[in-house]
Structure 1
Amino acid sequence: MGTTYHITLVNPPSYLGKETLQADIDKLLLDINLQMSTYIIDSELMRLNRAELNKPIKLSAELHEVLKLSQSVYKLSGGAFDISIGPLVELWGFGTSEGQDDLPSENVIEEAKSRLGSDKLRLNSQALIAIKQGNMALDLSAVAKGYGVDRVATLLEANRVTNYLVEIGGEIRLAGISPRQQAWRIGIEHPNALDLTQSVQKAISLTDIAIATSGDYRNYFEVDGKRYSHTIDPRTGWPVTHDTVSVTVLDKSSARADALATAFSVLGAEASLPIANANGIPAFFLIKNAEGYREVSSIDFKPYL
């Protein structure tokens, strides 16, 4: 996944061996990587990307689950979250290619956009089959880490661990109590984009939930003095230009929180709030203004403030 993980267990069962558990977790994450990575040429996802159009492809239950979840967030967000965004990610230099020196032309952007659309992927949930109805390049970067967190949490719970924090690349799921014998205290990062130091905008108390944050203030490039974010709007083909710099979402599922945070980062706070409020989604937004940053939250996030 190109990142690190961190796990904290509080008062785990005495029979649980740390070395054995870590080996099980490492194997689990390697298996997910082999299913969903765009950096492994023979991963299950990359084999699906190379598959013929209109040909039924048998999927693992794990990949099918992530694809189905991704399609649900695609529909909820009106296409703002789209795992078929792979061509645009590569085009703008945020994929496996090396950086970006010049802006792509409108013609090239339009050609890449013509390959997009998660609704071009048909899923048969009973038979675990996918059929591509377009020349798609699927990219699960905005959901697979969260899915990995969920799978690790499930593994811990199967080992009767009731108090834990699991973090992969910034996506977090936690349960029970922290080492301080209280609810877990999680900091929402302040976007110090210029010096890349870490500071906390707000700290909230959580338990038995997942939290994901998406922001445009770390991964970007500049051309002629203008900054272009890694958050690309699949509907326009261009990096987003709104003033929402950070989105934090809470959900029982880390994978869904991960995907929703990305969707809301694309949409921006103004367009996201009606969706969050209508669907009971706890969401917190940082919006850049002349004075610094303004905080906005959905109805369901307010109890955490």
Structure 2
Amino acid sequence: MGTSWSVRAVSPPPGLAAAVQRILDAVVAEMSPWEPGSDISRFNRSPVGAWQSLPPAFVTVLQAALAVAARSGGAFDPAIGALVDQWGFGPKPGSGAPPDDAAIAAALADAGHARIELDAPCLRARRTRPAELDFSGIAKGYAVDRVAEHLLAQGVVHFLVEVGGELRGAGVKPDGQPWWVDLEMPPDNDFAPTRVALHDIAVATSGDYRRWFAHGGQRYAHSIDPRTGRPLANGVHSVTVLHPQCMLADAWATALTVLGPAEGLALAEAEGLAVLIQSDAGEAMSAGFWAMME
């Protein structure tokens, strides 16, 4: 996934590091568009209209992604691979410059979750029209959950799992303290540091400072609005979501980043999500986030 991972566990079983690496390698083998032989790459090359058999884990992630896409009005969309590539944030090398309007329009015409039909009980999906899946806004969170579930299955109940900055904690540390985590703060901002206790909960953060490129004196962040086909320019610097599932925290952080401060907070309240939004408009917390901080 182009990032690092770590696990802190109380009384871990022998061979834990190797087992975790196998789990993460399996996620990459299914969901990385950088791997030509992965299931997601195979799906993106498949004939339009043809059903493709998929592994159970892949179906789980796709089903969750499509659900968040529907509930967010398309602010989160797992079928914008063509747009991600156009802006140089996918497996195809970018030019270091923004694409022209015609290229954006063409990629936007080949994107959208409504083009993906999922038959979850039969573990299959198909593209009803041209579109390319991209799980970059959900796969890391899913990987965290997979590792956490492996630990729980092995009888490990006190742990902190991290993959690329997304985390899930359970139980407590040996000294009885919870797994305290300082939330990642956007650089060059005056927001107060925030610390959360990850006790049977996960946290994911989406920020405009993680991946970006500059051209012509303008900065282009990797977060792309699926509705416009362009990187965000809504003043949001960081969105953090606390959720029992890291996969859903990851996806919702992306969706709310795209929606912006006001609309994002309104949807977070409607969905009962624990959310912290940091933007040019200031810092805003949903009622669910406030409740967890008390």
Q: Structure 2 length as normaliser, TM-score?
A: 0.95
Check whether the contact 1:247–1:264 (CA below 8 A) recurs between aligned residues.
yes
Partners of 2:52 and 2:124 within 8 A in 1: yes
Give the conservation status (yes or no) of the 8 Å contact 2:265–2:277.
no
Q: Choose from 274, 278, 282 the match for 2:274.
A: 282
TM-fit CA distance, 1:97 = 3.1
Give the secondary-structure state (helix, strand or coil) at the position aligned to 1:183: coil
| 1:3 corresponding residue in structure 2 | 3
Match of 2:287 in 1: 299
Deviates more, 1:94-103 or 1:224-233: 94-103
Give the match for residue 151 of structure 1: 146
Which AA in structure 2 matches 1:107? A
Could you say what secondary structure the match of 1:88 adopts?
helix
Inter-partner Cα distance in structure 1 for 2:57 and 2:46:
18
Secondary structure of 1:166's partner? Answer: strand
For 2:97 and 2:19, how far apart are their aligned partners in 1?
A: 44
Check the 8 A contact 1:187/1:200 in 2, yes or no. Answer: no
Q: Residue 162 of structure 1 aligns with which residue?
A: 157
Q: What residue identity is the alignment partner of 1:169? A: G
Hey, what does 2:198 align to over in structure 1? 206
Match of 1:61 among 56, 63, 69: 56
Secondary structure (helix, strand or coil) at the match of 1:190 reads: coil
Q: Secondary structure at the match of 1:189?
A: coil
Say which of 121, 129, 138 aligns to 2:133: 138
Counterpart-to-counterpart distance in 1, 2:2 and 2:115: 28
Alpha-carbon displacement from aligned partner over 1:89-139 (angstroms, at most 9, x marks no partner): 111111123344332121111110011111211111211111210111111
Quote the offset at 1:38 in angstroms.
Answer: 0.7
Q: What aligned pairs does 1:173-212 form with structure 2 within 5 A after superposition?
A: 173-192=168-187, 201-212=193-204
Amino acid at match of 1:7: V
Shift in Å at residue 295 of structure 1?
1.4
| 1:82 is aligned to 2:77 | yes
Asked if residue 258 in structure 1 is aligned to residue 253 in structure 2, the reply is no
1:226 Cα deviation (Å)?
1.2
| Aligned twin of 2:218 | 226
TM-score after normalising by structure 1: 0.92
In 2, Cα distance between the equivalents of 1:152 and 1:50? Answer: 29
Flag structure 2 segments of 5+ consecutive residues without an equivalent. Answer: none
- Corresponding pairs, count: 292
Kept in 2, the 8 Å contact 1:120–1:133? The answer is: yes
Cα distance change on mapping 1:131 and 1:96 into 2, 3 Å? closer
Rounded Cα–Cα distance in structure 2 between residues aligned with 1:200 and 1:43: 41
Question: Cα RMSD over matched residues?
Answer: 1.6
- The structural deviation recorded for 1:193 is 5.4
Distance 1:63 1:173 in 2: 20
Is the CA contact 2:79–2:131 (under 8 Å) kept in the aligned structure 1? yes
Residues 193 and 218, structure 1, Cα contact 8 Å, conserved in 2: no
Shift of 1:179: 4.0
The answer on whether the counterparts of 1:164 and 1:176 sit within 8 Å (CA) in structure 2 is yes
Match of 1:238 in 2: 230
SS at match of 1:264: helix
Identity %: 39
- Counterpart of 2:261 (choices 262, 269, 288) is 269
Q: Secondary structure at the match of 1:135?
A: coil
Q: What SS does the corresponding residue of 1:273 show, helix, strand or coil? A: helix
Give 1:28-67 correspondences, 5 Å limit.
Answer: 28-67=23-62
Q: 2:19 aligns with which of 16, 24, 30?
A: 24
What secondary structure sits across from 1:283 in the alignment? strand
Within 1, Cα distance between the matches of 2:93 and 2:121? 40
Classify the secondary structure of the residue corresponding to 2:160: strand
Distance 2:82 2:263 in 1: 25
Where 1:40 maps in the other structure, the secondary structure is: coil
